[in-house]
Amino acid sequence: MKKIIFLSFLFLHTITAFAQIGLGLRNRYRQQESVDYTRPRDYTIAAVTVSGAEHLDRDALLSMSGLRVGDKVRIPGDDISNVIKKLYKSGIVSDVAVLITKTEVDKVYLEIAVKERARLSRFVFEGIRKGQQETLNDKIKLTKGRIINDALIKNTENKIRKYYEEKGFRNSKIIITQRKDTIYGSNSNYAYLLIKIDKGPKVRIQNIDVEGVNDFKAQKVINKMKKTRAKGFNLAKIFTPSKFIKEEFEKDKKHILEFYSKNGYRNAAIEADSVYDIAEGLVGIKLKIHEGKKFYYRNIKWVGNFIYSDTVLNKVLGIQKGDVYNPEELSKRLNFSPTQQDVTSLYMDDGYLFFNIEPVEVQVGEDSIDIELRMYEGEQANINKINLRGNTRTSDHVVIRELRTLPGNKFSRADLLRTQRELSALGYFDPEKIGMNPVPNIADGTVDINYNVEERPSDQIELSGGWGGAFGFVGTVGLVFNNFSARKLTDLSSWKPLPQGDGQRLQLRLQANGRRFQNYSLTFSEPWLGGKKRNAFTIGFNHSVNRTFADFAMSRQLGSLQVSGVSVSLGRQLKVPDDWFVMTNALSYQFYNLNNFFGFGAINNGRFNNFTFNTTISRNSIDNPTFPREGSNVSLAVTVTPPYSLFTGRAEPLVNGSTQWIEYHRWMFDNSWFMKLTNNGKLVLHARAHMGFMGRFNPNIDTSPFERFVLGGSGLTINNFLLGTEIIGLRGYQDNTIRPLEPDGNGGLRYNRNGAGGIVYNKFVLEMRYPISLNPSATIFVLGFAEGGNNWGNFKEFNPFDLKRSTGVGARIFMPAFGLLGIDWAYGFDSIPGAPNISGSQFHFTIGQLLR
């Protein structure tokens, strides 16, 4: 028995001794110098060598170990163990040992024996298609030369498994093995990873069961899970797939609790949940919910308020005793409410930057809660400095003139948000990356504001195209320089390709359809004429030629229309009713030369002058010009000519072959409105209404056949009747085909392609928009729409409910270099008498323009 105890003690003592000196290499035997491990003592390191490092830098390993000649080291002790830990932690070796090769009195000679880890040469997939391999390459991001260790293999496996779980493959199997790569030679230190993938069947949810739901319908609670739904038709989640994704399921459980919290169930909890297999590719979900009691507000008390009374704060808060307890709504009313004023904005819009408020539950009763709203008002803060970063192309003064937060002014959160909107509306910066960071200086009661912007391309190669029925394709090619600089024209170094940075706009356009139609235009805009106020000055020139031919081969010309014009406008920002309003006044002159050209009713020959004065009042408060989520854009435009007949006393209508001055007045109203339908702002409702009418000054003269309204198609002005006409889009119908009907001689009405446009029109549109990508280099969103519109040749026939209706779907892509690209499919429901092919299934394609 004593022998057994002695041998056991000797064995354990030997194992401990070897661990102290870090003997970790397997299948490796080396004669070591005799050391008495029962008596630790200090040695001086006489020499340190490295063995086993064929590809690693030995000096680097020595430096990493921390062992240096001349240092003291205790054996046995922690010094040697720490060396081994350091080298293991580096991840570059798979095994390491510190060996004593020789001792001399108080000197020791050490050897660091290592086994190197292999480096990655490549990785090979098995079991998946090439397209998936390319996707996984981007996900795992393995680069040649990386050291292969357990962590790398495990992380790679987890990334692949997560990718397939997000696709609904819950039971995917991934096996990763390391193999020596012989293509680099038998002595190389390279290895490749063989990644075998069996993704298995996609797992879908067969059913979802909830227990403990008493105060709501079970399906209502289940519908609060945004990305988790069972198979079968569900109108509330018609676009949500039924595949099971664990990560989304965990988020959706929180959404259920948020729903209960909003409805006063403060103590609601999910007591248990389980996901169980039903069959291959099918799972079921069970949730056990504890609802608890419904709570209400009892007493609400303000603490620390001196600037505003309890009465004022209660009115802003808008929560009364007895209302359902809703912490989320309370937080919005206190800190930030997108639909109404909140308490924090009440203070911060008046300069109280240091304001802070904290709601505290001071007493919780059986079904009611007392709330104390503890606030710190602080002092008003003035703006000290404005720091601007990121505008590498746009001049500082162009950005600074848009700022509502100027040094010396009181801080205002409303001004900060308005500035963000103004910078976004410029179109020069990525609206999703405009940063605003107030930096308070508590010591002196001031605040510095840092604005960070990211430039994006704003110049455009403008292309617009459409099919004009028998007249073929009409396209537009142009250059739009949205950040032009006229003052840098003499600086040749700034021509890239034209001078930029001063916020001016230069547009050159050519629109053509061979010999049938050409349009040339040049427009220059200065948004801040004089540099001190928002006075937008614009001057434009245009010349157009339209020809008709006897046949499609254009062998014999039948007629022509030439239009030349010039316009000058000046717009300014108004202060009343608020500074969202802009008034623009414009003078323009158009000269029409008709030579046997049809499309304006009884007028087909002659020369006509059109001198007009236009006033437009508009209000634009949309939050993002590329993908608006909130706000509206409303405008009223009035265009009048001088009432020549009233001045001269003559009351003669326009006569064929004459030279006359046109007279009319025209009123147009446009309203575009955006509203978020989801909290994340992705699903957006866009409603539009458009209407207009033309009148005459003299009741004895017919309304001018020029500048009337024509509806249909994409709204592009693309056929032989486009000049001197206001074109209104109406999807589901051919371009420019919705015109007033004329008597057919048999008591009915018929379509007249050569007839003049209407003098009154209206149009209504509803769109649902959803973004696919908000990347500034390519913003993409899809939409579904329903719209209707019509026009009439006189006010007696006007009926706003007699609409040509259509519905359809579409997509928009905004690319900075090309502008907005759009494609729509629409179906027009209403037929046109005498023109059976005008309505029905239609595709509409636009590049570079918004539909009106």
Q: What is the pLDDT of residue 212?
A: 92
Query: Which tokens hold the place of 154?
Result: 């495990």
Q: Are 674 and 686 in contact (CB under 8 A)?
A: yes
What sign does the CA torsion over 163, 164, 167, 170 have?
negative
123 and 112 within one domain: no
**pLDDT above 80: residue 16:** no
Q: Are 602 and 655 in contact (CB under 8 A)?
A: no
**pLDDT above 70: residue 25:** no
Query: Which tokens hold the place of 388?
Result: 């601007």
Q: Are 244 and 168 in contact (CB under 8 A)?
A: yes
824 and 727 within one domain: yes
Tokens 């005799």 identify what position? 34
How many structural domains is the chain composed of?
Answer: 6
Q: Find the mean pLDDT for residues 329-348.
A: 86
Q: Could you give the residue ranges of the DSSP H alpha helices within 508-607? A: none
Say which CATH number the domain at 757 has.
2.40.160.50
Indicate the helix (H) or strand (E) that contains 635: strand 631-640
Distance CA 67, CA 83 (A): 8
Taking only the tens place, the pLDDT of each residue in 255-297 is: 999 999 999 999 999 999 999 989 888 999 999 999 999 999 9
Q: What is the pLDDT of residue 11?
A: 42
Choosing from 84, 116, 148, the residue where a domain stops is: 116
Q: Answer yes or no: is 176 within a domain.
A: yes
Q: Answer yes or no: is 470 within a domain.
A: no
Q: Find the mean pLDDT for residues 560-573.
A: 92
58 and 136 within one domain: no
Distance CA 365, CA 194 (A): 63
Give the pLDDT band of residue 819 (cuts 50, 70, 90): low
Q: Find the mean pLDDT for residues 362-385.
A: 93
**pLDDT above 60: residue 222:** yes
Choosing from 428, 452, 476, the residue where a domain stops is: 452
**Coarse DSSP helix, strand, coil percentages of the chain, rounded to the nearest 5 percent:** 20, 45, 40
- Enumerate residues 6+ apart whose C-beta is below 8 A from 113: 25, 28, 30, 51, 52, 96, 97, 98, 99
Taking only the tens place, the pLDDT of each residue in 65-79 is: 888 888 888 888 788
Q: What is the pLDDT of residue 4?
A: 45
389 and 273 within one domain: no
**pLDDT above 90: residue 686:** yes
Mean pLDDT, rounded, of the chain: 84
Q: What is the pLDDT of residue 253?
A: 94
- Report how far apart, in Å, the C-alpha atoms of 733 and of each of 73, 349, 472, 724, 840 are: 91, 50, 16, 21, 7
Report the range of poorest mean pLDDT among 123-132, 535-544, 643-652, 835-844.
Answer: 643-652
Query: Which tokens hold the place of 705?
Result: 């056949």
Q: Find the mean pLDDT for residues 711-717.
A: 74
Where is mean pLDDT largest: 10-19, 32-41, 114-123, 305-314? 305-314
Q: What is the pLDDT of residue 1?
A: 45
Q: Are 391 and 455 in contact (CB under 8 A)?
A: yes
**pLDDT above 90: residue 615:** yes
Q: What is the pLDDT of residue 471?
A: 46
In 456-534, beta strands by DSSP E: 460-467, 473-484, 504-512, 517-526
691 and 670 within one domain: yes
Q: What is the pLDDT of residue 33?
A: 54
Q: Find the mean pLDDT for residues 769-788.
A: 88
- Burial label, 159 (beta-carbon count in 10 A; 0-12, 13-18, 19+): middle
Collapsed DSSP state (helix, strand, coil) of residue 770:
strand
Q: Answer yes or no: is 359 within a domain.
A: yes
Q: What is the pLDDT of residue 13?
A: 40
Q: Answer yes or no: is 433 within a domain.
A: yes
Collapsed DSSP state (helix, strand, coil) of residue 179:
strand
- Give the phi and the psi of residue 696 in degrees, each rounded to 5: -125, 150
Q: What is the pLDDT of residue 35?
A: 59
In 117-218, beta strands by DSSP E: 119-126, 173-180, 190-198, 204-211
Q: Are 369 and 360 in contact (CB under 8 A)?
A: no
DSSP letters for 100-115: EEEEETTEEEEEEEEE
Q: Answer yes or no: is 742 within a domain.
A: yes
Q: What is the pLDDT of residue 95?
A: 83
Amino acid identity of 647? F
105 and 230 within one domain: no
**pLDDT above 90: residue 825:** yes
Q: What is the pLDDT of residue 70?
A: 86
What is the crossing angle of helices 150-166 and 130-140, to 10°? 120
98 and 128 within one domain: no
Report the range of poorest mean pLDDT among 32-36, 113-117, 386-390, 572-576.
Answer: 32-36
Q: What is the pLDDT of residue 747?
A: 67
257 and 134 within one domain: no
Q: Find the mean pLDDT for residues 793-806.
A: 91
Q: Answer yes or no: is 144 within a domain.
A: yes
Cα 818 → chain centroid: 18
Q: Find the mean pLDDT for residues 781-800.
A: 92
Say which CATH number the domain at 243 has.
3.10.20.310
750 and 701 within one domain: yes
**pLDDT above 60: residue 91:** yes
Residue 95, CA atoms < 13 Å, CB-side half-sphere: 10
DSSP letters for 252-292: HHHHHHHHHHHTT-TT-EEEEEEEEEEETTEEEEEEEEE--
Q: Answer yes or no: is 610 within a domain.
A: yes
678 and 575 within one domain: yes
**pLDDT above 90: residue 565:** yes
Q: Find the mean pLDDT for residues 768-797.
A: 89
Q: What is the pLDDT of residue 363?
A: 92
pTM, 2 dp: 0.62
260 and 329 within one domain: no
Q: Answer yes or no: is 500 within a domain.
A: no
Give the pLDDT band of residue 468 (cuts 50, 70, 90): very low
Taking only the tens place, the pLDDT of each residue in 107-162 is: 888 888 888 888 888 888 998 888 888 888 888 888 888 888 888 889 999 999 88
- Rg over alpha carbons for the chain, rounded to the nearest Å, is 39
266 and 254 within one domain: yes
Q: Could you give the residue ranges of the DSSP H alpha helices within 608-695? A: 644-648
**pLDDT above 80: residue 39:** no
Choosing from 249, 275, 290, the residue where a domain stops is: 290
What range defines the domain where residue 44 resides?
A: 17-116
Other C-beta atoms within 10 Å of 228: how many?
A: 25
Query: Which tokens hold the place of 814?
Result: 């905004």
Q: Could you give the residue ranges of the DSSP H alpha helices within 401-546? A: 413-426
- Enumerate residues 6+ apart whose C-beta is below 8 A from 375: 302, 303, 304, 305, 355, 356, 357, 358
Give the pLDDT band of residue 788 (cuts 50, 70, 90): very high
What sign does the CA torsion over 341, 343, 344, 346 have?
positive
**pLDDT above 70: residue 9:** no
Q: What is the pLDDT of residue 86?
A: 84
